[in-house]
Structure 1
Amino acid sequence: MFDRWIHSATARVALPALVGLCLVLVAVPAPAPAFAFDPSALQAYARKHYGARAERAVLAWQAMLAQAKGLSEQEKLRAVNDFWNSALIGGEDITIWHTVDYWATPVESLSKGAGDCEDYVIGKYFSLIDLGVPPEKLRLVYVRAQVGNQSIAHMVLGYYPSPQAEPLVLDSLVDRIQLAHLRPDLTPVFSFNARGIYMPGGARRSVDQIGRWRDLLRKMRAEGFQP
């Protein structure tokens, strides 16, 4: 089971059919960018495009980040997980964005006060990077989640203290951060971060293959994030 989380895959599945991604294989993983942002630029962007409520939500996010700066990594995980799980109401893209699959930036999600599983994970991922958690310790993990009698496509954030360690799972379905073996309801499919896509057998592919990731970064740059 832990091997599956380390390699973030259970089988050679049809990924586009599962998550709606268009993958075009390339040979060399892209270098991982570092992310930073200008707080005043984000506030101004939120106010201009989404109004005073969105600006207040962005200010609350920035206040959480400021308070968490001096914490240990474990405490940063809890602060970020708690913030995003309480800041957003879970919903479907078709309802929130009127499209089948949309990856919202943290500012967009906060402007709506709602998001689907990817939006929670995106917010947590970039928050933790801003707090100094190394990108290689974080992975956006596509899973199959057993919810009642249904198996659904879902995304969680995995935190890996070391490359071969059992990860901690940050989830929007369960507030408590838990080790992977305590989440038998989740079956990992594949994972990625700014350094690449992690597939069966440990092979790594360029994250540039994920069109929605490229679109997400483009939107974030327009909001005031700097690679």
Structure 2
Amino acid sequence: MSYIKKISGNIAVNRVNDYTKNIKSYQNLTKDKQLLKVNFYLNQLLPQYDDVIQKQEDYWASPKEFLITGFGDCEDYVIIKYFTLLKLGFDKDKLFFTTVYEKYIGGYHMVLSYFKVPGKSPIILDNLSFRILPLNVRKDLKADTFINSIGIYKIDKNNKLFKVQDNSLKFQKLLKKVKKEI
């Protein structure tokens, strides 16, 4: 914490401490309540594009980097939600970084998908919505790819994932960065 205070000040330290306290308070809740709490809590952090914060496009910030700056873009929300849910005991094989096409705005976006029940539509945690809904209910989103530590997938009409690539270099690089920060 002294390093965070030195480079980013008391506000960053307070944000990290608040995150830690809140996530710890979610440990004994049901998985459904944990999803709601995590999505709501983290969506309160402010959005900002990578080229403004990191001075580069498509930068995947670690949870620590996101908390220190207090700002992030859609990928950064997905990353911190993913690692937060892992801390709370969620199965990493059911969580996917998901690139989607946002139909109304007309652009690509990233959300976190949770395959709670095999064969059912995944539920979506999105920094643009405090509501957690199944993908098939989110008429504004068209899923493109699902990414996790095992590979890159597409989804069929029966909500079955099929692998299209063995791994994502960006995901592997992120995992290494997060491991160094622990």
TM-score (normalizing by structure 2): 0.89
- After superposition, where does 1:76-155 map in structure 2 within 5 Å? 76-86=34-44, 88-147=45-104, 150-155=105-110
Task: Measure how far apart 1:200 and its partner are.
Answer: 5.3
Match of 2:139, SS state, is coil
Task: Measure how far apart 1:49 and its partner are.
Answer: 4.1
Q: Is the 8 A contact 1:145 1:151 kept in 2?
A: yes
Q: Which runs of 5+ in 2 are unaligned?
A: none
User: Structure 2 vs 1, CA of residues 196 and 53 (structure 1 numbering), >3 Å: closer, same or farther?
Assistant: same
Q: Size of the alignment, in residue pairs?
A: 177
- After superposition, where does 1:21-32 map in structure 2 within 5 Å? none
**Which residue in the other structure is 2:125 paired with?**
170
**Which residue in the other structure is 2:178 paired with?**
220
Runs (4+) of structure 1 exceeding 6 A deviation are: none
Say whether residues 1:74 and 2:74 are aligned partners: no
Distance 2:66 2:101 in 1: 23
* Paired letter, 2:118: P
Q: Larger RCO: Structure 1 or Structure 2 (Cα < 8 Å, ≥ 6 residues apart)?
A: 1
Task: Measure how far apart 1:143 and its partner are.
Answer: 0.2
**Which residue in the other structure is 2:4 paired with?**
46
Task: Measure how far apart 1:48 and its partner are.
Answer: 4.7
Distance 1:181 1:157 in 2: 14
Distance 1:77 1:48 in 2: 33
Task: Measure how far apart 1:194 and its partner are.
Answer: 2.1
Structure that is richer in strand per residue: 2
**Which residue in the other structure is 1:38 paired with?**
none
Distance 1:197 1:186 in 2: 18
Q: Is the 8 A contact 2:149 2:171 kept in 1?
A: no
Q: Percent of counterpart pairs with the same letter?
A: 34
What does the per-residue CA deviation read over 1:103-144, in whole Å, with 9 as the maximum and x for residues that have no partner? 001111111111110000101010001000111221111000
Match of 2:146, SS state, is strand
Distance 1:118 1:223 in 2: 18
* Paired letter, 2:151: G
- After superposition, where does 1:178-197 map in structure 2 within 5 Å? 178-197=133-152
Q: Is the 8 A contact 1:64 1:79 kept in 2?
A: no
